[in-house]
Amino acid sequence: MGPSPRDLQLTPAGDGWKQREGVASDLEEVRLLDEYEDGNSGKVEEGSEIGMKRVQLRVTGMTCAACSNSVEGALRSLNGVLRASVALLQNKADVVFDPNFVKEEDIANAIEDAGFDSEIICEPNTSQKKSHGTLTGQFTIGGMTCAACVNSVEGILRNLPGVKRAVVALATSLGEVEYDPTVISKDDIVNAIEDAGFEGSLVQSSEQDKIILGVTGIYNELEAQLLEGILCNLKGVRQFRFDRTLSELEVIFDPELTGSRFLVDVIESGSTGKFKLHVKNPYTRMTSRDIEESSNLFRLFTASLLLSIPIIVMQVVCPHIPLLYSLLRWQCGPFRVGDWLKWALVTVIQFVIGKRFYIAAGRALRNGSTNMDVLVALGTSAAYFYSVCALLYGAGKTSDAIKKLVELSPATALLLLQDKGGKIIGEREIDALLIQPGDVLKVLPGTKVPVDGVVTWGSSYVNESMVTGESAPVMKEVNSSIIGGTMNLHGSLHIQATKVGSDTVLSQIICLVETAQMSKAPIQKFADFVASIFVPIVVAMSLLTFLVWYIAGAVGAYPATWLPENSSNLVFSLMFSISVMVIACPCALGLATPTAVMVATGIGANNGVLIKGGDALERAQQVKYVVFDKTGTLTQGKATVTTAKVFTGMERGEFLMLVASAEASSEHPLAKAIVEYARHFHFFDEPSSNKNAFNHSKESEFSAWLLDVLDFSALPGRGVQCFVNGKQVLVGNRKLLTENGVTVPKHAEEFVVELEESAKTGILVAYDSALIGVLGVADPLKREAVVVIEGLKKMGVEPVMVTGDNWRTAQAVAREVGIKDVRAEVMPAGKAEVIRSFQKDGSVVAMVGDGINDSPALAAADVGMAIGAGTDIAIEAADYVLMRSSLEDVLTAIDLSRKTFARIRLNYMFAMAYNVISIPVAAGVFFPWLRIGLPPWVAGACMAFSSVSVVCSSLLLRRYKKPRLTTILEITVE
């Protein structure tokens, strides 16, 4: 018999844990919930008014919009409250107030006076960091069947002392809890889940220094003591625990003193090779539990089917076989043989195989909530006991996306062993989870890259489609970055690991997909509200149905011929009542949104579009405007100098040297293009096609030809300025020169205008307060830009371009790409203002960008889409990440959102129609005219069909195909 879920959790010292003396036990760090909670609040303007304070409160007990309106009214009536908003779905209140007039306690009391429970949450901040000392744990929660279960678990977790936040997802059976380890432990959280009537266990936590190892070779107590002795003497090990039943070793260690691979090596060598260890992936462990639960459910289904077949045979087939039929009708005691057999078989199905429904229903009722299990238990029990009394009287696979992503990472890797001089002296196969930053690994042709890194030797084509969605193989050479989980096609490569574990691109994708699948789309609040009141209403309707039919029969409102043979008014009324209870189903409503969102986020990840949550998915289907940044988004971001014109007697080489010296300290793409052009002019070297080619090594190699620069400064939106040989150098736009009193001659202005009208950027150069030359820089459009813009127009979306470039260049690029609405010479902060100007009439606005200067606009937009090749800051601020850096994925993101919510609306329509139609039929509303009624067993089958049909409807999204440009543009390909 396996251990209980609690045996699998990391616990404080004691209870089976060995803790090294003098070592602190508070070892965990922070991880998961920032993206979901803080990411959602990122769109809300911070309460930054002078002297004001902002506080967030957890409000429990709200069930509908009327409740949230009541809380908002109570808060706004307080003297000193500037703003108050209440989010029903998140059960939160956000209040900006003057601390001179009102205190946090007064705000909490006002909520409680309104009839709701409140709890002050730590004050949010713009850095999106959790308070020091809080941890995040991810738990599996078994036994949830509908939205009511989710609400029940979330409510219980959020009410635990020390718990800051809790999010529960029905589709993945996962919960994420942020908590204070000084107040509550993981064991307490698991116990609370189990006390609520569900199965709970820890999947992983935010600990960065814990490892779970599978151990073979330990068969008795002496060998276990040997393992303990090795760990006790190992420097850096703080706590450990060995589970003999599962053969699992959990170790907490100080990463500054020891590493995971060193730990494994010491244990194996210390046991003289007797112990063999392998790292256990938490996602793989979770998947195996899912498979085990699915297998158990299938066994129960098979058993119930096998027991049901004889009942059907006895009822349908045996009456046509005289010998068998006479045997079944043979009297045995008070009942016939057939009745005894049916009763025995049905009892096993009802109370042995169906035991899980009674257990779950009992747990729900014990916690003061109702769910589908309560309905199933009530309905089937009523049908069962009615049948017994009559006898006496007569005589729901969706988390495939995460599973597939986990499987991309190889299990092992080839580690190259090096001597002190860096020479390779051998290789060794190690577990991929033991790779450390700086390790040099060998990747053979036809194998997967184990972690993110940089190529140090060799060249090969790599298939990145499984991560980015880009089908064309990508050439990788020395100094090329490479993504873990991708497939090496041809040549052998040596790579140096740069990011391992949770820092890899693949792990971040998994985290994003998982977080998105756990988040709730705003449309789901309708289903949550219906689920919260559904069961009591159905029970009341069932009781009402019974009373109406029973009273009608008692007063003779219908003829006795309506009653079945050998039946009574009581039994006739009870049949309708039971059918109502059995056929009603809140599950279809509860599953309509999360299953579709779960499938959509997985499909998006497979197509290179990472979606950060259900709310972002819902907003994208309503997008009216898509605002594009120019450089690096519509254009390739690979600027090249096309023209260099000198207006004085200065030599061309001297002019380029002066400009390059001024621009060498700038990080702007145009500056790098100018320096690369000047270097090529001086050294006749081929410019690199790699936009990062101007790296530190080249800078040091060719820096000797650059002039000494003093007082360098970069001026955003203008250019750069510095001093060379004691004279001021200005490189930038007209505004920079005008501000510094430099006059632009007419012939130079005409040349710049000519450049700008040909979609090039004119860069003016002044030396010693006089214009000496102009450079023309071009950034080619992405090849798909024109057709994507046209495709957006066909989809009813208006494209807009915003750029810091000058008006003439911006308009030239816009004409070339087909955009009519252009905003030019816009500073980074001004881009966010442009977004807000479109939002004033309630329009939903999407922003597509790639740079740090785009992050304010991405955050301000209703839907932020970051190009995958962009900066980390831009990606963090966005709601969508386009991994392929292709503009076609903008169309995919919007199209996928529209198709997903069309499917969700279809699911809701079916779920509502099912209950609206089936409940009256089951209640016998049409019986007086059509003589149509539903026996309880038919009602039960219809109830199951409703849930299955909604899930199957959502799963049809897996057949989603990216929109073809030829289809959108209505192009006929001959």
Q: Cα dist. 627→77, 665, 691, 876 in Å?
A: 39, 31, 25, 18
Q: With the CA atoms of 98, 101, 103 and 104 taken in that order, what torsion angle do they form, in degrees rounded to the nearest 10? A: -40
The amino acid occupying position 658 is: L
Total residue length of the chain: 974
Sheet holding 237-243, edge to edge: 18-19, 237-243, 248-253, 210-216, 276-279
Q: Cα dist. 50→53, 98, 185, 325, 584 in Å?
A: 9, 9, 39, 89, 55
Distance separating alpha carbons of residues 748 and 443, to the nearest angstrom = 55
Q: What is the CA radius of gyration of the chain?
A: 34
Q: Is 452 a catalytic residue?
A: no
Distance separating alpha carbons of residues 866 and 853, to the nearest angstrom = 12
Identify any residues that bridge with 175 across adjacent strands, giving them in sequence order: 139, 168
* DSSP symbol at 353: I
- Contact criterion met (CB below 8 Å) for 752 and 760: no
- Contact criterion met (CB below 8 Å) for 493 and 460: yes
Sheet holding 863-867, edge to edge: 609-611, 880-882, 863-867, 844-849, 623-629, 798-802, 821-823
Distance separating alpha carbons of residues 807 and 823, to the nearest angstrom = 8
Helical H segments across 159-281, by residue range: 186-195, 221-232, 260-270
* DSSP symbol at 453: E
* DSSP symbol at 868: T
Distance separating alpha carbons of residues 611 and 509, to the nearest angstrom = 10
Residue 79 burial by CB count (10 A; 0-12/13-18/19+): exposed, middle or buried? exposed
Closest CA to 62 of 94, 86, 36: 86
Residues 6+ apart with CB under 8 A from 111: 57, 59, 71, 74, 75, 93, 117, 118
Sign of CA dihedral 530, 534, 540, 542: positive
DSSP string of 530-556, one letter each residue: HHHHHHHHHHHHHHHHHHHHHHHHHTT
In degrees and rounded to multiples of 5, residue 466 shows phi and psi of -70, -20
Residue of 629, 850, 862, 879 with catalytic role? 629
Closest CA to 617 of 640, 635, 638, 593: 593
Residue 846 burial by CB count (10 A; 0-12/13-18/19+): exposed, middle or buried? buried
Distance separating alpha carbons of residues 267 and 654, to the nearest angstrom = 65
Residues 6+ apart with CB under 8 A from 5: 190, 194, 199, 200, 201, 202
Identify any residues that bridge with 83 across adjacent strands, giving them in sequence order: 96
Residue 711 burial by CB count (10 A; 0-12/13-18/19+): exposed, middle or buried? exposed
Distance separating alpha carbons of residues 313 and 953, to the nearest angstrom = 33
Tokens of 790: 């046209």
Distance separating alpha carbons of residues 695 and 42, to the nearest angstrom = 35
Place of tokens 């209950």: 915
List active site positions.
629
